[in-house]
Amino acid sequence: MGLVMRRRKLTEDLYRITIGYPTMDQTTLLVNLGVALGAGLVGAYIANRLGQSVILGYILGGVAIGPYTPGVVGDRESVEALANIGIILLMFALGMRLSVRQLLRVGRVAVLGGALQVLVTIGIGYLIGRALGWDWLPALFFGAVVSNSSSTVLGKVLDERGEAGSIQGRIGLAWSTIQDLSTIILVVILSTLSTGGNSLASDLFWPTLKAAAFLVVLIPVGSRVLPWIFERIIAPARNREIFVIAVAAFALGTAYLSSLFGLSLAIGAFVAGVVVSESDIWHQILGEIMPLRDIFAGLFFVSIGILVDPMFVLRNLPLVLVVLVTIVVIKGLLVTGITLLFGYSLRTAMLTGVTLAQSAEFSFLLAGVGIDLGAITSAIFSLFLAGTTLSIVLAPALHELAPPAIDWIEKRLPEPKPAHHPVLGAPAIPLRGHAVICGYGRVGQVVGEALGRRRFLFVVIDHDQEIVQRLRKGGITALMGAADNPVLLDRAQLGGARILVVAIPDALASRRIVDYALQYNPNLEIAVRTQSLTERTFLQTRGVTEAVMGELELALEITRFALCRFGVSALETQALVQRLRLELAPDGEQPSAATEHLR
């Protein structure tokens, strides 16, 4: 009791120093915002200096100001209210990274695979709960809690690693959306079972119907009306404040509207972002919302840390590890297996499994429903909370360790047998002197059009069925599938190719393509799209002829334009730009400290 009183006095002293007047028992929003941001800042700074994800730092910062550790105590309700804004802005920004077309490309594996994974995970969790001696209802809640993965954690980790546009990133985001939608059904079912209701069918029908109505109305109508409003009304005002307020109001308003239809705030914000992604100015919207998103998303992870009781974790470590293994290992392997069943490569399947091997906000929601209804005890609730939080802490590290672990596994697996049947779209005759383009998005398409205008022969590998079909109709050889698939690379006839262009945004897949291509044809000229100077240097040491960093080339072109406007001759400008290119990223060397910010 004395410790609690001392904490309260310390918090009140902080009020007097900060605001200058006596406070009530409840902490004010301003002070709690400052305390939470300060704790998150310190934690994130330390984690970053140690080479860890800032998510870990945010959570540890929350633990530091939580009620279970000495020192200043932040008000949980105030921080959670602010954290909800972070979830909305994070999911809105995440939705803008995807388009409706991109979601539809992975729709089959997400819808069918996600639904299957949720059902099987609930069954496995139920059996584990019963084995631990729990009653049938807590065991069922356990299965529901571990079945969900966090879109918020997923989006944050993918953003940090630059993998939001990768195939596993798109599958994971679409998959987690299906999991989020399943939460609506699970809340109704578990609430009815907990209260002994007999009208499960009717209780389930109306929430599902309202959720479907929201999606059916917003996606078709919003994808036409909302982009038009931003492009024709908001953007022409040429006022940054109006633009930012309009974006924030739209994101928060749509999230609130979704809650009226029985959907979560996160799902509503995500769908709103997907709708806005169809606008031509989505990049401007994303740029304006990013600072707000980063601030409030940090508060979300701080709010999770506030709930964690470190001593409870230590006292119940075996049970916490059971929950953690169920979320990370069992669910991760299940997602991997289901993704393989849908025909994706082992690497894509395993990376997707790692991506979804965590839980967070909707798991907390389901656990909260259980304790509110008396279906689970406070000890079981704390157990769910501890295991779920640890899965968030481990998520960035798993993403970091997964690629080398997958490389190790693949090296020990037998080489895939070459296909004995022709691949649809593969050249029927041997090719010589052609180009192979991996990825036919915005970058690959420019290369392909330039080659086509000079009537040079090229082969395209892309996973987008629409792109492949369009190219084939135009008489261009196109292979459909993942560009890092060895069978497809063989069919592209790398042995006779003049050049290989790797134009995909996935750095891991690019490395695999380069390694396989150079083993197949050591003299092959290779040009690769990169995202950082570090990746560029790495690829050059592996034998890549040209590794192009988009931001660097953009900066050099703007530099060229500025020098010309100052009257510098074309010859001198070219020399200066070339010198900058060599200084910024010399072959085989690390960039200088002056250019470290370009990483």
Highest mean pLDDT among 32-46, 255-269, 310-324, 575-589: 310-324
Q: What is the pLDDT of residue 199?
A: 63
Chain segment 130-145, per-residue pLDDT in tens? 999 899 989 999 999 8
pLDDT at 19: 41
What pLDDT is recorded for position 564? 85
| pLDDT higher than threshold 90 for residue 91 | no
Per-residue model confidence as pLDDT tens digits over 493-547? 888 899 999 988 777 788 888 888 888 888 889 999 887 777 777 888 888 888 8
In the prediction, which pLDDT does 23 show? 44
Residue 598 has pLDDT above 60, yes or no: no
- For the stretch 559-592, pLDDT in tens is 888 888 888 888 888 888 888 877 765 444 444 3
pLDDT at 26: 46
pLDDT band at 418 (very low <50, low <70, confident <90, very high): very low
pLDDT tier for residue 69 given thresholds of 50, 70 and 90: confident
Segment among 122-136, 269-283, 338-352 with least mean pLDDT: 269-283
pLDDT of residue 438: 92
- 264 vs 130 pLDDT, higher one: 130
What integer best gives the mean pLDDT of the chain? 77
CA distance 321 to 128: 13
Instruction: Determine what percent of the chain is predicted with pLDDT higher than 90.
Output: 11
Q: Which amino acid is at 41?
A: L
Contact 526, 502 (CB under 8 A): yes
Contacts (Cβ under 8 Å, ≥6 apart) of 517: 489, 494, 500, 524, 526
Query: How confident is residue 5, by pLDDT bands cut at 50, 70 and 90?
Result: low
Its pTM stands at: 0.61
How far is residue 96's CA from residue 274's CA, in Å, rounded to a whole number?
5
Rounded distance, CA 548 to CA 102, Å?
A: 25
d(CA 456, CA 62): 59
Euclidean distance between CA atoms 511 and 506, whole angstroms:
9
Alpha carbon distances (Å) from 340 to 80, 347, 353, 463: 38, 9, 10, 16
In angstroms, rounded to a whole number, what is the distance separating the alpha carbons of residues 77 and 469?
A: 53
**pLDDT confidence of residue 245:** 81
Q: Is the pLDDT of residue 62 over 90?
A: no
Measured in Å, how far apart are the chain's first and last C-alpha atoms?
Answer: 50
What distance in Å separates the CA atoms of residue 175 and residue 113, rounded to the nearest whole number? 8
Q: Which long-range contacts (CB under 8 A, 24 or more apart) does 544-553 make?
A: 544/514, 549/585, 551/598, 552/581, 552/584, 552/585, 552/598
pLDDT tens for 171-183 read 888 888 788 777 7
Give Dmax (Cα) for the chain: 85
Mean pLDDT of 432-445: 88
What pLDDT does 593 receive? 36
Top-confidence residue, 430 or 61: 61
Distance CA 24, CA 15 (A): 10
Angle at CA 47, nearest 5°, toward 44 and 51? Answer: 135
pLDDT for the residue 164: 63
**C-beta of residue 347 within 8 angstroms of C-beta of residue 402:** no
Q: What's the pLDDT at 21? A: 44
Q: How confident is the model at residue 460 (pLDDT cuts 50, 70, 90)?
A: very high
Mean of pLDDT values over 113-127: 92
